[in-house]
Amino acid sequence: MKPLDELVRPNIRALKPYSTARDEYAGGEITTWLDANENPYDNGLNRYPDPHQRELKRRIAALKGVRASQLFLGNGSDEAIDLAYRIFCQPGRDNAVSIAPTYGMYRVAADTNDVELREVALGADFSLPTDALLAAADERTKLLWLCSPNNPTGNAFPTGEIERLLREFQGMVVLDEAYIDFAAEPGFLGRLDEFPNLIILQTFSKAWGMAGIRLGMAFASEPVAELFARVKYPYNINGPTQRSVAERLTADIAPQVAELRSERERLAQALAACPAVERVYPSDANFLLVRTAASDRLYDVLIAAGVIVRNRSRIPGCAGCLRMTIGRPEENDLLLQTVQNFRP
C-alpha cells in the first residue's frame, strides 16, 4: 500500500470539517439547551441526534469486536460507497477497479463522482480474476472493489486470494461483506488490524432485518475511519435510527439466519431439478442466482403469480439468469411451485 497521504485527495486531507453546535460542548450538567436553534417543545424528535453516534458505535463495536474509532456509520452502506470515492478519487483523474458482475452502486457512485471504473470480468464459475485485477491498476488507481459474497453471483471468494490482493494492491481495498452473515467463512473483520488498506462494508439491511431504517457500517484503520467522519453530513444518522438499532442489537439473529440458509439449500436443490432451470449457482448469500432456459418468460410468469425476482439476464456474465432472494418458507414454496410448473 502507498502511504495514506498519497492516496487521499489533497482537498480532503486539508478539509476542516463542519463543527456542530454540540461539538464544542465537553459534558457537564446542562439543563437548558439553547445552542442549536431547535424547537424547545419535546415531541421525541425535536432535538438533533448525536452527530458522532457515540452510544450506538460503542455498542456495535462491542458486538463486532472492533474499536469504536474504527467504525463509520452511514445512511446504508451506499453512503460509505459514495464517500470512498469522494475521499480517495480526484474526479476526472483517478480511477478504481472492480470485479464484474458485481453490486451496481460501485458503478453509479463512480459515474456520479466522475471517476473511471475499470471492470474486470470474473473468471470461469465466477472465480476471482486476481492477476487481471492487479494488472488493471496503475499509478492513479485508488480503490479496488471486492464484494464477497458477491452480488449477484452469490459466491464468496477464497480467503487466500483476497489476502493476496490486500498485500499487492497499492491502493485501498473495499471489501463489501453485506452478505457475510450467510456465508460459511467468517470474513475479514477479525483481521482489520493486519491490513491498513482494508475497508470492510457491512450493513443492517440483510441478516439484521433492518433495511427500512438505513444503517450501514464501514470498518477501517483509525486514520481512514476519521476521513469518513470528516466528509460525512453532520447528522447523517437520524435519531430514531440510532435509537431503534441500539435497542435491537441484543436480538439473536442466528436462528433466522440458520433458517434462511437451510431454505437456501432446500430451494437450490429443488430448483436444480426443475425443467426450466439450467444451473443453480452455489450461494453464500441470502439469494440464489439461477440460469434458466427462458429467463424473460419465466420472469413474467413469476410476476403473474405475484412473485417478483430480479432479472439479471442482461448483465454481462449473467445471460439467462434470475436472482431470487430467499423468503419465508411459504414464499419459497410459491416461487418453487411456479418454476416447477413452467415449461421453457
- When CB distances to ligand PMP are compared, the closest residue is 76
Question: Is 8 an interacting residue with respect to ligand PMP (CB under 6 A)?
Answer: no
Nearer to ligand PMP, 148 or 338 (CB): 148
Question: Is 241 an interacting residue with respect to ligand PMP (CB under 6 A)?
Answer: no
Instruction: Name the minimum Å distance from CB 53 to ligand PMP.
Output: 15
The one among 115, 147, 289, 307 contacting ligand PMP by CB under 6 A: 147
Question: Is 83 an interacting residue with respect to ligand PMP (CB under 6 A)?
Answer: no
Q: Which stretch binds ligand PMP (CB under 6 A): 21-29, 30-38, 74-82, 125-133?
A: 74-82
Site map (CB under 6 A) of ligand PMP, residues 202-221, x = contact: -x-x-----x----x-----
Cβ contact 216:202 at 8 Å: yes
The CA-atom distances, in angstroms, between 242 and each of 72, 247, 259 are 13, 9, 28
Question: Binding to ligand PMP (CB under 6 A): which residues in 20-39?
Answer: none
Site map (CB under 6 A) of ligand PMP, residues 305-334, x = contact: ------------------------------
Question: Is 77 an interacting residue with respect to ligand PMP (CB under 6 A)?
Answer: yes
The CA-atom distances, in angstroms, between 309 and each of 44, 76, 147, 300 are 38, 22, 21, 10
Nearer to ligand PMP, 49 or 76 (CB): 76
Query: What number of chain residues touch ligand PMP (CB under 6 A)?
Result: 12
Nearer to ligand PMP, 98 or 292 (CB): 98
Query: Which residues of this chain interact with ligand PMP, rule CB under 6 A?
Result: 76-78, 103, 147, 151, 176, 178, 203, 205, 211, 216
